């Protein structure tokens, strides 16, 4: 079983829609969860991180962790065409490396 | 620009040739990471340095791959006898000492195409 699994999409929604992106992870001991955004032909950039369970909000973005079901989510409100990118969930399994999901390619249509 | 830089941005080579990539981390970041990303996949960890010491290597890093960070600043990743399966984006990241969740800052990557 992969440590992190993510639906690769692609996902296409109209501008202004609420977007929900999700990942599942295998090890209940994981505590740090991150979302990276990657534009085409660029390196990933950190969007948000959360520790343990609960929600974290930053502007139009909300990250959510449900440790009981080992599920992490990223919600984007009032989506914009500039949000079109690949979104990668990542976990820090306690070592120095990050383990990434496959990435979900998102397109916001004007 | 004080971000992570990588050189070259693109490399096309013929199978069997050796290639070397360079990464310059954010100054004052003592940790440096190499990842590989193939099309439609997330980045996969290859190796990690703390200062000049290489502390972890993935089993993905075959004996044709070698990475160095001689003075604890920039790093190089060399691939010997390249194969078509080595075609990928090679990403470098760096992080600062301390910190609980290990925020890593990524460079733009080197895209390798092996013909």
Q: pLDDT (tens digit, 0 to 9) for every residue of chain A, 110 residues total?
A: 788 999 888 999 999 999 999 999 998 888 889 999 999 989 999 999 888 778 899 999 999 999 889 999 999 999 999 999 999 999 987 778 899 999 999 999 99
The reported pLDDT for the residue numbered B100 is 62
Q: Which residues contact B63 (CB under 8 A, 6 or more apart)?
A: none
Q: How far apart are CA B7 and CA A34, in angstroms?
A: 27
> How far out from the chain centre does Cα A64 lie?
9
| The pair of three-digit structure tokens given for residue A77, joined into one six-digit string | 């409100």
DSSP β-bridge partners for residue B11: B112
User: What is the per-residue pLDDT for B99?
Assistant: 64
- Chain B CB contacts of A95 below 8 Å: 56
Peptide bond into A75 cis (omega under 30): no
Query: CA A31 to CA A28: how far, in whole Å?
Result: 8
Give the other-Cβ count within 10 Å of A104's Cβ.
22
Residue of B3, B9, B101 best to disrupt the A interface, most CBs of A under 10 A: B101
End-to-end, the C-alpha distance of chain B in Å comes to 33
- pLDDT band of residue B72 (cuts 50, 70, 90) is confident
For position A28, what pLDDT does the model report? 82
* pLDDT tens digits for range B83-113: 999 999 999 999 987 766 678 999 999 999 9
Chain B interface disruption, residue of A8, A33, A35, A43, most B CBs within 10 A: A43
């Amino acid at each position: 079983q992969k440590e992190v699994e993510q639906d690769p999409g692609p996902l296409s929604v109209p501008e202004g829609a609420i977007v929900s992106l999700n990942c599942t992870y295998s090890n209940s001991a994981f505590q740090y969860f991150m979302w990276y955004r990657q534009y085409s032909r660029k390196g990933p950039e950190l969007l948000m991180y959360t520790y343990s369970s609960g929600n974290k909000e930053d502007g139009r973005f909300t990250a959510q962790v449900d440790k009981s079901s080992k599920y992490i989510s990223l919600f984007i409100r009032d989506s914009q065409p500039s949000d079109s990118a690949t979104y990668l969930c990542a976990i820090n399994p306690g070592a120095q490396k990050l383990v990434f999901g496959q990435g979900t390619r998102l397109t916001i249509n004007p | 620009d004080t971000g992570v830089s990588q050189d070259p941005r693109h490399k096309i080579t013929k199978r069997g040739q050796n290639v070397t990539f360079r990464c310059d981390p954010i100054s004052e970041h003592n940790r440096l990471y190499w990842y590989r990303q193939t099309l439609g996949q997330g980045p996969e960890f290859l190796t990690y340095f703390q200062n000049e010491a290489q502390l972890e290597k993935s089993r993905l890093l075959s004996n044709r791959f070698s990475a160095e960070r001689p003075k604890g600043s920039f790093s190089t990743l060399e691939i010997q006898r390249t194969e078509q399966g080595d075609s990928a984006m090679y990403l470098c990241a760096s992080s600062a000492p301390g910190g609980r969740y290990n925020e890593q800052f990524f460079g733009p990557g080197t895209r390798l195409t092996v013909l």
